[in-house]
Amino acid sequence: EAQVTQNPRYLITVTGKKLTVTCSQNMNHEYMSWYRQDPGLGLRQIYYSMNVEVTDKGDVPEGYKVSRKEKRNFPLILESPSPNQTSLYFCASSWGGPGNEQFFGPGTRLTVL
Amino acid sequence: AQSVTQPDIHITVSEGASLELRCNYSYGATPYLFWYVQSPGQGLQLLLKYFSGDTLVQGIKGFEAEFKRSQSSFNLRKPSVHWSDAAEYFCAARGFGNEKLTFGTGTRLTIIP
């Protein structure tokens, strides 16, 4: 089954404790992206990747890191999480090109205390 | 700056009634336009998309959207809503040659019996 998976689905952590949210897709998509969803703000793009070893900042990259060492994986790293990073995070992937549908993962709800 | 606006935060509609969700965009040139739906606790699913050509676009689940260049709008419609349509709906746009997908803030749809 074609899908985007994220782990963990739920995470409660404390300020400053490094964490990684994994994202994997099995559709051989070139493009992958991370979004955060906050009430009243919709989805905002954090980082995206056009292909392996090619990443770029989205609208809200501060406090996040990503890597794209393999085509299927695009982990999101929070080196020192803070409470303002409490949010719902979505990973998405698509074929290259701006007109292609993005397929979304189920989301990761992160709470930083 | 490029932006997508959904002026209605919350809409309530009776089951069986018609629906129209509004979306306006601000881009230098006509972007690729999308409508996504997010059911409670789920990721986002693409309803339909517009690139060019026929300005009335048909999507899944009985939805359609009409592109109006003169009004910079891409409104989503459904002739008769079902209780299962209760969800949050997001309009999104992506500029040609620009890999960033910009979302509106979403419209929450409530269906009453």
pLDDT band at A3 (very low <50, low <70, confident <90, very high): very high
Residue with tokens 């393999």: A70
> Is A48 in Cβ contact with B105 (below 8 Å)?
no
A39 in Cβ contact with B10 (< 8 Å)? no
B31 in Cβ contact with B97 (< 8 Å)? no
Identify the pLDDT of residue B53.
Answer: 86
Interval A29-65: pLDDT, tens:
999 999 999 988 989 999 999 899 999 999 899 999 9
Please tell me the distance from the alpha carbon of residue B23 to that of residue B30, in angstroms, as a whole number. Answer: 14
> Is A101 in Cβ contact with B99 (below 8 Å)?
no
| CB contacts, 8 Å: B94 with chain A | 98-99
For residue B78, the number of C-alpha atoms closer than 13 Å in the C-beta half-sphere is 25
Query: Which of B94 and A46 is assigned the larger pLDDT?
Result: A46
Please tell me the distance from the alpha carbon of residue A83 to that of residue A79, in angstroms, as a whole number. Answer: 13
Whether residue A8 has a cis bond before it, omega within 30° of 0:
yes
Nearest to A104 among B43, B95, B98 (CB): B43
Nearest CA in chain B to A50: B99
